[in-house]
Structure 1
């Protein structure tokens, strides 16, 4: 008897969890191609992260960079941010923001895989916008207001 191969369709569902990282593997045992007298192979999916337009991931931490004018970097700045779960955060930064300063908001990063009730941190970095030019008076006023160390 001549047996032709038959096609069998099966729907497999993967519930993607937000804490999964690049390289996470999901295996469906024996769901791969079948051949006569051979155990079907496993079907393996490997996850990749699509880059986000605002956030970068570092482990369970989320990193975002904010542009801040120099005057606000020196006098105080409030970060207005919509995070991945669509909540709006208002984060006052009262420290002087230097080019290497980083504000850390605990518990606003990605979920931790083995402890889903815990989250990593949101790390806010700053890109300080310096003025392209200053008048002589502005320079004199700044020298008077900000002592050189």
Structure 2
């Protein structure tokens, strides 16, 4: 199948929300633009479209200085790489938080099963809300 600027645009749209896949799609678009007979015009149009597309995806990167995918490819790649790193860091932090939350809930479950403590006391020990402890207690009973 012949690669056209339009097929490159579809590739970017179908890259999903993975910034790494998006970077690969952008690299393919740049190669398509470079082989296009009207490369300057095609570059301007696709660059403008890509800036809007990234904005709609919620990419928090500075694209004001991006005027050409071909010329500013490294700047865009660096911005996308920083986004990937930021997402991974946020994902690790989120994972740690989820792990800590689960550990608190497990401690509360153990206290519910093994003691006669009130929900208030268990909540204070486990670092949970009283409502969460009450919910855990009702789950254990069923």
Q: Which one has the bigger strand percentage?
A: 1
TM-score where L is the length of structure 2: 0.26
TM-score, scaled to structure 1: 0.25
Larger radius of gyration: 1
Structure with higher RCO (Cα < 8 A, 6+ apart) = 1
